[in-house]
Structure 1
Amino acid sequence: MLEDPLPFQGQLRETGPVVRLSAHDVYALGRYEQVHAVLRNWQSFQSAAGVGLSNFRYEKPWRPPSLLLEADPPHHDAPRAVLEKVLGPRALRKLHGAWFADAENLVEAVVAQREFDAITQLAQAFPLRVFPDTVGIPKSGRENLLPYGDHLFNAFGPRNDLFTRGDASIGELSAWVNAQCAREVLDENGFGAAIWAAADRGDITYEQAPLVVRSLLSAGVDTTVHGIAAVLYAFATHPEQWSRLRAAPHLARVAFDEAVRWESPVQTFFRTATRDTEVAGVPVREGEKVLMFLGAANRDPRRWHDADVFDLDRDPSGHVGFGMGLHQCVGQHVARLEASALLSALAKRVERIELAGPAKRHHNNTLRAWESLPIRVRLV
């Protein structure tokens, strides 16, 4: 199913609005209406018991829970407000020029090869080039970010071989990530320093500050990498849409959101019922886990016309690829800026993108991820 989840997702949607997965003893939602409703209803379906299969009410989490993903009001509010300010429009405007210039430099060097791996040389290279600099962590050790994030998202699923393989090295990876969150390690002009400054103002506590920095390093890389990979794959397989983007470069952000809808880098998230309630008339008891298939909801034909088609004429707003409601991804505008910078640079230099060989998926319990995407380009 991890190699190609679409047949299962279609079957899940057509089976009913709520399906019981007996193997894992959870309720599963695949239709947009129910997924959207549960994501928005944090009062009845909490994140604090874990957004993965593990139930923090009864199981100890493998790391201190995220103050954003795995917390609800009131504990969620202050860290969320700090990050919304740190990652707000003013900060992103300051990054715009530098990131677009950096994207053009990277693209110029990569497309000169004519054939290359779009995962390692673009989708991974650009976020790992600009985002850690912006957070303010040192350059050494950044190769730890992707395997750390990979294990984090594997840990949201069952304790299978994917989780076990990462578990062997997670102690060392966690120690490195935690060390980067210390005040004295961070560049004084980065996002990380701004988070610590919020602690100085009393907006958050000093104990919370490193955990908020960790949220940037945990969820700010892998999801963007695979979102960029998704949009590059979409254009390599839809040449008419690439021509459309080149004719209207302002559609770069629409293209990224449409790719996030179409491929859904984050495929699943869990919630836990805080009380006896129901979903689409199906009783859900307090303490039970509900598994939302974001990828299935984003291709639900009840919500989207020609849902399986990647189409720049579509308005993809409302997709649940970044979540929805109170816990919607706080860094989504950063991801859009990274993707827009890279796509804009490519549109200036590349007339056509096509596959140069078979794409290879990277299996992860939560992510729709990529290992390799060989592409060939024809330059302008």
Structure 2
Amino acid sequence: METFYSPFDFAVQDDPYPVYARLREESPVYRNDKDDFWALSRHADVIAALKDANRFSSVNGLRLEPAFWGPDAERFFSFVAMDPPRHTRMRGLVSRAFTARRVQELEPRIREIARECIRPHVEGDAFDMMTDFAARFPTDVISELVGVPEADRAKVRDLGMAIMYRDEEGDDLPPEALQAIGALVGYYTELTVERGRERRDDLLSGLLDAADGADRLTPEEIVGVLILLVGAGIETTMLLLGNAWNAAWLHPEARAAAFGGRVGDWIEETLRWDPPTQAIARTTTEAVALHGTTIPADARILLLTGSANRDPRVFDDPDRFDLDRDTGASLAFGNGRHHCLGANLGRLEARIALEEITGLVADFEIDEANARRVRSSNDRGFAALPSRITRRR
């Protein structure tokens, strides 16, 4: 039976890893005619493509849905949907504002936010990791980073959730999601105008002040960066927290070690074993010959990072969740010139969140019958993870 793979198929989304294994062995250059894309699944091929911006272009975006794909993709993905030299310029300017120092200085406030978000929900013996905590925490962190007033954060959170998920199978976004994007653009545009008049100690002010000689980001470019943060800064961290929680539930020995202090290893192995981002789209700029197959120019390519992270050519016994594993070759944050600029912030958020939770919770079990997955073509995780908890004494 021929292997079938589509990022839009709910059965694949529920458990893509057996499909990835067959793709790596039987069809490392896979063609889906119906959805019009090719897929690369082996670690060596995925990392080579991520590093080869000349032949694998980002200009059409990172996702295949019609709403996101095409020459206007930078409206949603900002500089991530650009090639050099435009990408080089934009990333350079954003990097001047999104500094390691800015992230490090935020750590005490991130811990306060984590405590504010989790403590009311662990007073009893049950909470939902996703709806009670993970959906709110990274949104409030990004709002704190950007400079969104506290009074507006619930609105920003609701708009972000409306953009990210849908419950119906298909390859496009519902009208509500498109409306939410428009509303968020409008909100961030107003906030940018306001910061243009009066600076504060936040990322938005930093983006307004970032300069390379006379070159500065335009207000439209800044709003694009803020929209990018909804997916790149909120969604991925939210899903990482849920995936880590689920991985710990499925592996009791690893859970005991993680709850015993090995939070960093827990996060890194989750990023390898069940990463929030499963696939990254590219467009070929010329014909590419690989494994006896020629991919034509202007073809849509999915680089299956979720599969690459389970490639036995790189990771021994890759389906095993192992806190002692060397995860250095993980592609959870991409690679090459588009390596995630916010990787350090994402790791910091996850570490603080799980440290705060494990400081209050001694153990837990997930109500699997009522757990619910998100429906996304390129991301993987949960919308609901109801859990019964044992409090620390």
TM-score between both structures, scaled by the size of structure 2: 0.85
Q: Is the partner of 2:374 in helix, strand or coil?
A: strand
The answer to whether the 8 A contact 1:154-1:163 is kept is no
RMSD: 2.8
Q: Is the partner of 2:77 in helix, strand or coil?
A: coil
Amino acid at match of 1:193: S
The answer to whether the 8 A contact 1:148-1:174 is kept is no
Change (3 A) 1:153 1:9: farther
The answer to whether the 8 A contact 2:272-2:327 is kept is yes
1:86-105 equivalences under 5 Å are 86-105=97-116
Structure 1 residue 164, shift from structure 2 partner: 4.8
Does residue 188 (structure 1) correspond to residue 200 (structure 2)? The answer is yes
Structure 1 residue 30, shift from structure 2 partner: 1.2
CA distance in 1 between counterparts of 2:264 and 2:157 reads 24
Q: Is the partner of 1:351 in helix, strand or coil?
A: strand
1:262-341 equivalences under 5 Å are 262-341=273-352
209, 233, 237: which one aligns with 1:197: 209
Does residue 378 (structure 1) correspond to residue 378 (structure 2)? The answer is no
Structure 1 residue 62, shift from structure 2 partner: 6.8
Does residue 112 (structure 1) correspond to residue 123 (structure 2)? The answer is yes
219, 223, 229: which one aligns with 1:210: 223
Q: Is the partner of 1:208 in helix, strand or coil?
A: helix
CA distance in 1 between counterparts of 2:162 and 2:26 reads 31
Residue 247 of structure 1 corresponds to: 260
The answer to whether the 8 A contact 1:226-1:265 is kept is yes
Amino acid at match of 1:173: I
Q: Is the partner of 2:54 in helix, strand or coil?
A: coil
Residue 178 of structure 2 corresponds to: 170
Structure 1 residue 6, shift from structure 2 partner: 2.3
CA distance in 2 between counterparts of 1:67 and 1:265 reads 20
String of CA shifts for 1:101-134, please: whole Å, max 9, x gaps: 3323433332222211110112112112322122
Residue 85 of structure 1 corresponds to: 96
CA distance in 2 between counterparts of 1:137 and 1:201 reads 28
Change (3 A) 1:203 1:213: farther
Residue 37 of structure 1 corresponds to: 48
119, 138, 146: which one aligns with 2:149: 138
Question: Percent sequence identity over matched residues?
Answer: 28
CA distance in 2 between counterparts of 1:204 and 1:216 reads 19
Structure 1 residue 200, shift from structure 2 partner: 9.2
64, 71, 77: which one aligns with 1:66: 77
Structure 1 residue 299, shift from structure 2 partner: 1.4
CA distance in 2 between counterparts of 1:21 and 1:281 reads 17
The answer to whether the 8 A contact 2:39-2:302 is kept is yes
Amino acid at match of 1:171: Q
Q: Is the partner of 2:124 in helix, strand or coil?
A: coil
Does residue 361 (structure 1) correspond to residue 373 (structure 2)? The answer is yes
Structure 1 residue 184, shift from structure 2 partner: 0.9
Q: Is the partner of 1:76 in helix, strand or coil?
A: helix
Change (3 A) 1:128 1:205: closer
CA distance in 2 between counterparts of 1:152 and 1:62 reads 15
Does residue 49 (structure 1) correspond to residue 56 (structure 2)? The answer is no
Q: Is the partner of 2:255 in helix, strand or coil?
A: helix
CA distance in 2 between counterparts of 1:205 and 1:191 reads 13
Does residue 225 (structure 1) correspond to residue 246 (structure 2)? The answer is no
| Pairs aligned (count) | 373
Residue 236 of structure 1 corresponds to: 249
CA distance in 1 between counterparts of 2:165 and 2:136 reads 22
Residue 6 of structure 2 corresponds to: none
The answer to whether the 8 A contact 2:118-2:132 is kept is no
Q: Is the partner of 1:364 in helix, strand or coil?
A: coil
CA distance in 1 between counterparts of 2:217 and 2:158 reads 29
The answer to whether the 8 A contact 1:151-1:166 is kept is no
Amino acid at match of 1:167: P
Change (3 A) 1:283 1:149: farther
CA distance in 1 between counterparts of 2:126 and 2:254 reads 20
The answer to whether the 8 A contact 2:61-2:74 is kept is no
The answer to whether the 8 A contact 2:165-2:374 is kept is no
CA distance in 2 between counterparts of 1:357 and 1:211 reads 38
Structure 1 residue 100, shift from structure 2 partner: 2.0
